A and B are shown apart, each in its own frame.
Chain A
């Protein structure tokens, strides 16, 4: 783990929407899904991105891969700004940048055999590769992700959810990319299968020196797989730190609330712990609160929070950054 390979600078993704009401001339407003996110990712590192539904974590993942065009900001990948690249140049970069989706079955074409699904990236990037070589590569990768190579001619519906997710992992891995964005890859799986996939991702990371961006709402899984964790709320970074710092000493009120709300499978601990309940629901990203976006639900909110947005800053220790005027 040494060099920075990905550097996100002030990334913004706005979706133009039409506001309710307004009659004949409705007002145009922007839905601010991602609003000024910056972070760096190092070689071989896993960054966990946590947040509740609607906080923009999936949009952020897709904007990094240019699957959604960012409205502003830079995505610097090994020195090149992906947002500024032409389509053809971007296509070349995609060999190194892959993604795994949440719904394992829905992300696989039901009419293709799993062999064809896994070989698809090879076919589009190395059209001259011989059929035999392709098959060998696919079989080797299947063995790598824990699928029996003799299953190569079966169809996705013949597999369980956990196995389908392994197929998704094999498809992402076949080009031996440098970065995989995992968008809630274990959320749809049963507990006993979740652990299998998490272990598989960690194994592959060690073997191929992969960098991972692991997007999830499950704080326990994120703690287990990540080196660093970024907490997102309404498109803004609330806190970013090494995983032990963030879980043992969360400094932002939102992170503290998230961690105290996550249930722990231990009856004595769970029944005796005091939950820090935050009231209400997520505000609309079409009309986010002024200043700090969390202030409407924050127990510490004061007048200053409605003014300037609090900057993401560290206190002394350079790796633990918080965006809050009243950080602990």
Chain B
């Protein structure tokens, strides 16, 4: 398998009136063809900023260091003109809120054909035909009739499907989906995830799924990276992460999710404390204040992300957990 995207030591910083904030620190990852990588984390964990930086969409006060290669092309800090040849055509991003990402006063048809005319040099008629095919693919009913409507005339689920269609127009090799189904109802979410699964299996599109919903990750991802306070806490196959989590944060997240298929009358497990404030991160391990297994060394020494076999990595001083989920001492 060849890596579609390989990121090395990527760091994102923002300068704010209160000082510098490190939103992402030293992240290294690879995404392969036909694979779905899940990026899981709470709000403020840096999961979105990581890919916004890779797409070259950082806000003005943000800077990025490190390397992100698309195939053999370095993406970071290259001129927008060069980036635009890849962005939109070979890699695309879909965002959480479909209403704010579509231009309200331009018809859907024009918003879709624009990409094709620009990137592929298609004629307006060909582009229209292709746009129609894609709208059918994402299951917009009566697409031919609906094409010439404005975004506000679509429902939330349909708008999100239009966003996905837009991302798919040029058949990108990499699709970055930032919480694509969070704003949608469960029945519509199921439809969208179905479409993404088909893409991965039929066209071999590499997908990055950024989400906080572990249920969504379980359904679609092959590998998972768990982010906390701008760093990867643990990475591994979806089976490893869900059935044998080795980082206390991953374990806590999984245990604190109420499950539809299980009933306990006991209280839900909770991770104590609040999500981290990036401006006031603790010394040592970023998770130590909320970690029930913290050691003395965790308070001073930030654990590095190290390989623990089976293609897995974790950033924790503890030895991990055994097959019963008990701490190994």
> A interface vs B, CB < 8 Å?
52-53, 160, 162-163, 190-196, 198-199, 202-203, 217, 219-221, 223-224, 243-244, 247, 257-271, 275, 277-282
Contacts and interface: CB of A to CB of B under 8 A. Distances in A.
Contacts of B253: 191-192
Given A217-B185, A277-B190, A195 B261 contact: no
A292 B275 CA distance: 45
A223 B263 contact: yes
A52 B267 CA distance: 26
B201 to A, nearest CB: 12
Interface stretch (B18-26, B130-138, B166-174, B214-222): B214-222
B214 A265 contact: yes
B256 A280 contact: no
A199 B187 contact: no
Q: Top 10 nearest A-B pairs by Cβ distance?
A: A263-B215, A52-B185, A265-B214, A261-B190, A195-B268, A224-B258, A192-B271, A195-B256, A190-B42, A270-B218
B267 A199 contact: yes
A220 B91 CA distance: 35
Nearest to B260: A220
Given A190-B43, A275-B194, A282-B155, A198 B187 contact: no
A308 B189 CA distance: 31
A263 B270 contact: no
Contact of A244 (B187, B239, B263, B264): B263
Interface in B134-154: 141
Interface of B: 42-43, 141, 155-158, 185-191, 193-194, 212-219, 238-239, 242-243, 252-254, 256-261, 263-264, 267-271, 274-275, 277
A192 B256 contact: yes
Contact of A263 (B42, B191, B218, B263): B218
A327 B141 CA distance: 28
Contacts of A244: 263
A263 B182 CA distance: 12
Given A190-B42, A264-B215, 19 more contacts: A52-B187, A191-B253, A192-B252, A192-B253, A193-B274, A194-B256, A198-B268, A199-B270, A217-B185, A217-B186, A224-B264, A247-B263, A258-B186, A259-B260, A261-B190, A266-B261, A271-B218, A279-B141, A281-B155
A262 B187 CA distance: 8
A277 B185 CA distance: 13
Contacts of A279: 141
Contact of B215 (A53, A163, A262): A262
B141, B191, B216, B268: residue with the most chain A Cβ atoms closer than 10 Å: B268
A271 B201 CA distance: 13
26 contacts: A52-B186, A52-B187, A53-B185, A190-B275, A192-B42, A192-B271, A192-B275, A193-B274, A195-B257, A195-B270, A199-B268, A199-B270, A219-B186, A220-B259, A223-B260, A262-B186, A263-B190, A263-B215, A265-B215, A266-B218, A266-B261, A267-B219, A267-B242, A275-B194, A281-B155, A282-B155
A238 to B, nearest CB: 13
A201 B263 CA distance: 17
Contact of B257 (A191, A199, A269): A191
B275 A193 contact: yes
Nearest to B238: A267
Nearest to A51: B185
